[in-house]
Chain A
Amino acid sequence: MDMTNKTVDIINNLPGMLYQALNDPPNFTFTFVSKGSKVLIGYTPEELVKGDIKLFNIVHPDDALILEPLHRSTLSVGLPLETTFRITTKSGKEKRIWMRSFVVDTNDEGMPCLIEGFFMDLTKQIHIETSKLANRAKIDFLTKMSHEIRTPMNTIIGMAEIGLREDMPDNIREYTYSIKKAGGKLMYVLNDILDYTNIKNDDPELFMDEYTLSSLITDVIDITKEQMVEIGAGLDFLVYANSKIPNILIGDVVKLRQIILNLLSNAVKFTDEGFISLSIDGEVDSNALDLIITVEDTGRGVKEEDFKNLYKEFAQFDDKMIEGTGLGLFITHNFVNLMGGKIEFSSMYGVGSIFTVTLSQNIRVYERLCEINNPDQKKVLIFEHREIHLNSITHAMDGFGVHYDIVETISELYTALESEYSHVFITNEMHNEFKKTYPNFQANTKFILITDPFFCLTIANILNDVDSESNQPHHTTNNENYAVIVIPQVRVLIVDDIKANLVVAKGLLKPYEMDIDLCESGAEAIEAVKSNRYDLIFMDHMMPVMNGVEAVACIRALEVKCQTDCKNVPIVALTANAAHGTWEMFYRNGFNDFLPKPIDTVKLNAIIEKWISREKQNNDVVIIDKPNFKINGIDVQRGIFLSGGRLDIYLQVVEVYYKDGLKLLGELKECIEKENIELYKIHVHALKGASATIGAVNFSKFAATLEHAAEQDDVSFIRTETPRFLIELEMLLDNISQVIIKDVDNKNTCTDELKLELELLKKAISDSDISTINECTKKLQKYLLNEDVGDIINKILINKMTGKYDIAVALINTILEA
């Protein structure tokens, strides 16, 4: 070849291989090969040009078969040839080569005699393509598997949950609880695996939304407390939170929760004595909050040589006996980086560890994490001898600007209480001591037992008297330590093709006491929506025939003919498909929100509160009747709620209870005498239910213990406890009788008598004669059951009670002038 030195250099530096060869099939004798051949196929140009190694020596036999006809149809007739084939390098490695060859010279007969061309390594390209495909397949597989696992998990956890809300023997309760707990653990593992896979596939994204920091903190605390109970190490749990930082932020709260939970969970797992602590602080920087989250523990710590492996996947040091996937810190580290934050770690082997996460979140509303209403009206006394706990409490109190004093002994406390304090924060131990030492102590001060953790949010709830707010809707608490709103006026539709899921969902919604309709298909759902007005719809998104997305589209399209607000009804997707990208898809397709399966009761509650409250703002608020009387031993408000919010219905129920109760007094005595435990159990079971319905909660619990004893044939317990039980029942019935009329016949309007009473009341009001007012009130109570005037009498008494005398008098006049 005729080439200058410069050209030769350039050619030899090319990646790949440039060649010239004779067109003498099957040899294709090389006349020139660039130096790149060594890297590409392992042979030097000398080895190839000398003739020892021929092209077909290294081409894969299968590909060689194709090259032959290709050559004939292209190069042999003067056309260029571009193709790929596999070769085996000198060291035995297989590579895929791309080749372009063309004819450069012909002989005297015009037949191509010299070809030149270029070889290039395609192996990497192919690799990338196939691994992309493989990844796609992997992701699809995982998504499907995730769904396949979550759906039955929903049944396991959900059924266990609703099962636990029913009555059952203690041993069955234990088994059921174990099922629920194991199911929960399995979900943790599954979620870890999914997150890990997302990270490995470079998939994780941040889903930004508004969230409430106080809820997040409460969440992680609750979950951590549960873990601590399970592990049972007897650790202290301390929390410090800066009450002045903004509460409503924007960020990916799911990932943030996971970050904090992973750190706390590790702290719990690796600490066998001492404490774990969570500290939340931050600094506002224009519209962002620089959060500083610190988790400390007095655990075994990490050896210095293990520091570098801390964030690696599957990292577990020391004991392989510690539960967990080993993915926690890997995921945490990744998520923190994703958020543009930093995580720092220090540890002393044998002393403990400190993790600090710093990251920024945008501020949505400049509202503080928590504040005390009327702080100058509160004065607190603190009696906590444990140093680190005391520090945490004073830290919170200092942030509130509420006056507080610290005492260190029982007698100091007693002396201090000679001044006015609104609250005393005291440990259970010391409280008992105090009661023993000063049994006759009376004061207006509220004694508050210090729980673990005791920090600004806990204290704010206490000092703000959150629980006794009488304007709030009635709250009941279930096992999950959050308040469930009782909303019997709300109507809900649940759509899922799997019956078990419907049962679970309905069961989980039971405490809300809503009206629930069930549908097994999208088509059914559309029909239901046409005829009924729903406040909320839960729709499974994977259903045969018509899936959730299609169903929603149809429902939204109904709006024109729809009388029932199809356009605006909130629809929540129920999905076992936890792959992150799908959430956006739901929003795009007309869903308002989503709830992953297995259904988490805390998330469910959040969704209901979010969508139902908003709903209510557009509706007429249903008035829940307030009672104007009290019955000792009965939570009347609760009873009214269980009667659908209606006082008149409640009174009827109570009346029935009264009559039945009187009968049962005698029958129970007889059962004891005749030792008829079977019948006893039946009666006591009935009493248990009926007492709960009217709001006699404690008495119902008492009945429950007796029912249990009857089941266990524990005759001695029954003998010992029944006399007291019967006395309590008598007292309860007596209390009831003072309020409710016994004589059913008196439902007739005693107009004259009533009018007289009303006149008396009217006069007493204008005279401000309190004692007469009270007397009249008592007498008027018997008219509450009256069909005609009961309602108005109730309103009169309520207004009188709340001091709205003008209205009360006006109402009185309506009867007097009727």
Chain B
Amino acid sequence: MLSVGTRKVIAIGASTGGVEALEQVLTKFPTTVPPIVLVIHMPPGFTKLFAARLNKSLKIAVKEAQQEDYLLPGQVLVAPAGKHMKIVNLNGKLAVDCFLGEKVHHVIPSVDVLFESVAKNLQKDAIGVLLTGMGADGARGLLTMRNNGAATIGQDKETSAIYGMPKVAKELGAVDYELPLDQIGNKILSLV
């Protein structure tokens, strides 16, 4: 049984500066929040550490995603460094598929891969969030999500450690709400 509101999944992408940004965004989330799927660019082995650390400091659960993990409310699934993660339909429920593959925008996991799969499976029932980071990964995916009716948020220039990914997204017209970091969390909750 997923969340009560209309938005069923929150998909977030981040890179350089994402560690600190994410903590700020997620800190107020209650355990009733819809499932969150996250791609953050990190060297191999570190997404596990990152997830464990965040898990301890937040109210909601955070774990490194494993193959075929179901999406659950109040839980963040972090794509494991070195694998792409996408949403799939498994026995009528939403789950993740983590797989090896070619790098996209020179990274794996790639935010685009995640966002495209969310757009495909959930259309308007999702929220896409693109935070600070270098490069362009996630910009196209965010646009696809928006075009399919999802609500999209991009981090603004002032608060981004690197205003790269969110900038490209904005230029593509993928961002509904461009916000400073401290307002993103509340915005997401209001959209849910």
Contact = CB atoms under 8 A, between A and B. Distances in A.
Nearest to A388: B52
B53 A296 contact: no
A296 B20 contact: no
B43 interface: yes
A352 B63 contact: no
Interface in B40-56: 42-43, 45-46, 48-50, 52-53, 55-56
A387 B63 CA distance: 7
Given A273-B57, A351-B19, A387-B63, A346 B52 contact: no
Interface string A265-287: 00000000111000000000000
B98 to A, nearest CB: 15
Contacts of A273: 53, 56-57
Nearest to A349: B19
B61 to A, nearest CB: 8
A356 B84 CA distance: 25
B52 A274 contact: yes
B89 to A, nearest CB: 22
Interface in A526-564: none
Contacts of A236: 52
B96 to A, nearest CB: 14
A346 B45 contact: yes
Given A348-B42, A348-B43, A387-B63, A297 B20 contact: no
Name, among B42, B46, B50, the residue most crowded by chain A CB atoms within 10 Å (CB to CB). Answer: B46
Interface string B113-128: 0000000000000000
Contact of A298 (B42, B43, B53): B53
Contacts of B57: 273
A509 interface: no
Nearest to A234: B56
A352 B19 contact: no
A275 B54 CA distance: 11
A174 B40 CA distance: 48
Contacts of B53: 273-274, 298, 351-352
A346 B43 contact: yes
A142 B48 CA distance: 45
Contacts of A350: 19-20
A784 interface: no
B63 A297 contact: no
A346 B20 CA distance: 19
Given A274-B49, A388-B52, A348 B63 contact: no
A389 to B, nearest CB: 10
A296 B56 CA distance: 16
Interface in A294-319: 296-298
* Range for the number of chain A residues in contact with chain B: 10 to 19
* Range for the number of chain B residues in contact with chain A: 10 to 19
Given A351-B50, A352-B50, A296 B19 contact: no
Contacts of B50: 298, 348, 351-352
Contacts of B48: 296, 388
A138 B56 CA distance: 50
B107 to A, nearest CB: 15
B42 A354 contact: no
Contacts, number: 47
B20 A352 contact: no
Nearest to A236: B52
A351 B63 contact: no
Nearest to A356: B45
Contacts of B46: 346, 348, 351-352, 354
Given A350-B19, A351-B19, A275 B52 contact: yes
Contact of B19 (A275, A346, A348, A387): A348
A274 B23 CA distance: 14
Contacts of B56: 273-274, 298
A780 B52 CA distance: 63
Interface in B8-28: 19-20
Interface in A343-375: 346, 348, 350-352, 354
Interface in B52-87: 52-53, 55-57, 63
Contacts of B49: 274, 296-298, 348, 351-352, 354
Contacts of B43: 346, 348
B62 to A, nearest CB: 9
Contacts of A274: 49, 52-53, 56
Contacts of A348: 19, 42-43, 46, 49-50
A274 B58 CA distance: 11
Contact of B45 (A296, A387, A388): A296
A387 B50 CA distance: 14
A273 B62 CA distance: 14
Interface string A365-401: 0000000000000000000000110000000000000
Nearest to B49: A352
A311 B145 CA distance: 47
Nearest to A387: B63
A274 B52 CA distance: 6
Nearest to A347: B46
A649 to B, nearest CB: 56
A387 B57 CA distance: 15
A267 to B, nearest CB: 11
A346 B42 CA distance: 11
Name, among A346, A350, A351, the residue most crowded by chain B CB atoms within 10 Å (CB to CB). Answer: A351
B45 A354 contact: yes
Contacts of A346: 43, 45-46
Contacts of B42: 348, 351
Contacts of B20: 350
A768 B140 CA distance: 85
A298 B47 CA distance: 10
Nearest to B20: A350
Contacts of A298: 49-50, 52-53, 56
A354 B52 CA distance: 14
Name, among B19, B49, B56, the residue most crowded by chain A CB atoms within 10 Å (CB to CB). Answer: B49
A301 to B, nearest CB: 9
Nearest to B75: A387
A354 B45 CA distance: 8
Contacts of B55: 387
Contacts of A387: 55, 63
Contacts of A297: 49
Interface string A325-358: 0000000000000000000001010111010000
A273 B55 CA distance: 10
Contacts of A354: 45-46, 49
Contacts of A296: 45, 48-49
Interface in A235-283: 236, 273-275
Interface in B115-164: none
Interface in A577-635: none
Interface in A384-442: 387-388
Nearest to A297: B49
A627 to B, nearest CB: 50
A351 B52 CA distance: 10
A553 to B, nearest CB: 56
Ranked nearest first, the 8 interchain pairs of A and B with the lowest CB-CB distance are A352-B49, A298-B53, A274-B53, A387-B63, A298-B49, A351-B50, A350-B19, A274-B52
17 contacts: A236-B52, A274-B53, A274-B56, A275-B52, A296-B45, A296-B49, A298-B50, A298-B56, A346-B46, A348-B19, A348-B49, A350-B20, A351-B53, A352-B53, A354-B45, A388-B48, A388-B63
Interface of A: 236, 273-275, 296-298, 346, 348, 350-352, 354, 387-388
Interface of B: 19-20, 42-43, 45-46, 48-50, 52-53, 55-57, 63
Given A296-B45, A388-B52, 20 more contacts: A236-B52, A273-B53, A274-B49, A296-B48, A296-B49, A297-B49, A298-B49, A298-B50, A298-B53, A348-B42, A348-B49, A348-B50, A351-B19, A351-B46, A351-B50, A351-B53, A352-B49, A352-B50, A354-B49, A388-B48
